[in-house]
Structure 1
Amino acid sequence: MAPKTALLIIDMQRYFESMTTTALPNIKRLITHFQHTSSPIIFTQHGHTPDELSGKTSNQLVRKWGPNGSIAINSHAWHIQDSLQHYLKDTPSPTTKPSSKRPRIVLKNTYDAFINTNLQQILDEANVQRVVVCGVMTDCCCDTTARSAFNRGFETWLVGDACGSANRKQHEAGLRGFGFAFGEILGTEEACGRLGEEE
Structure 2
Amino acid sequence: MSTALIVIDVQESFRQRPNWVSTNRPDIADRVGRLVDASRERGDEVVWILHNEPGAGGVFDPASGFVELMDGLKPLEGEPVLNKTAHNAFTTTNLQQYLTQRGVHEVVICGIRTEQCCETTARVASDLGYEVVFVTEATATTPLPHWEAPAGRSHAEELADPKTLTPEVVTERTEYALAGRFATIRSLDEMTNRVREAVA
Q: Aligning the two structures, in what range does the TM-score lie when normalised by the shorter sequence?
A: 0.7 to 0.9
Change (3 A) 1:27 1:143: same
1:88 to 34, 56, 75: 75
Q: Could you tell me how far apart the structure 1 residues matched to 2:63 and 2:49 are?
A: 14
2:106 to 99, 118, 130: 130
Q: 2:175 — aligned with what?
A: 175
1:139·1:175 contact (CA, 8 Å) conserved in 2? no
Q: 2:131 — aligned with what?
A: 155
Q: Could you tell me how far apart the structure 1 residues matched to 2:10 and 2:119 are?
A: 15
SS in 2 for 1:193: helix
TM-score between both structures, scaled by the size of structure 1: 0.77
Q: Could you tell me how far apart the structure 2 residues matched to 1:120 and 1:147 are?
A: 14
1:133·1:146 contact (CA, 8 Å) conserved in 2? yes
> Comparing both structures, which one devotes a greater share of its residues to helix?
1
1:120 to 90, 93, 96: 96
Where do residues 185-196 of structure 1 align in structure 2 (5 Å cutoff)?
185-196=185-196
SS in 2 for 1:181: coil
Q: Could you tell me how far apart the structure 2 residues matched to 1:126 and 1:74 are?
A: 33
SS in 1 for 2:119: helix
Q: Deviations over 1:132-152 (max 9, x none)?
A: 000010000000001111111
Q: Could you tell me how far apart the structure 2 residues matched to 1:149 and 1:162 are?
A: 18
Is 1:9 aligned with 2:7? yes
Consecutive unaligned residues in structure 2, runs of 5 or more: 143-166
1:25 to 16, 22, 30: 30
Q: 2:68 — aligned with what?
A: 79
SS in 2 for 1:77: coil
SS in 2 for 1:122: helix
TM-score between both structures, scaled by the size of structure 2: 0.77
Q: Deviations over 1:87-113 (max 9, x none)?
A: 225x4xxxxxxxxxx321111011111
Structure label with greater radius of gyration: 2
Q: Could you tell me how far apart the structure 2 residues matched to 1:174 and 1:16 are?
A: 20
Q: Read off the aligned partner of 1:156 and give its amino acid letter.
A: V
Q: Could you tell me how far apart the structure 2 residues matched to 1:145 and 1:42 are?
A: 13
1:44·1:106 contact (CA, 8 Å) conserved in 2? yes
Change (3 A) 1:15 1:111: same
Q: CA deviation at 1:26?
A: 2.1
Q: Could you tell me how far apart the structure 1 residues matched to 2:176 and 2:196 are?
A: 26
Consecutive unaligned residues in structure 1, runs of 5 or more: 54-66, 92-101
Q: 1:105 — aligned with what?
A: 81
Compute the RMSD of aligned alpha carbons.
1.8
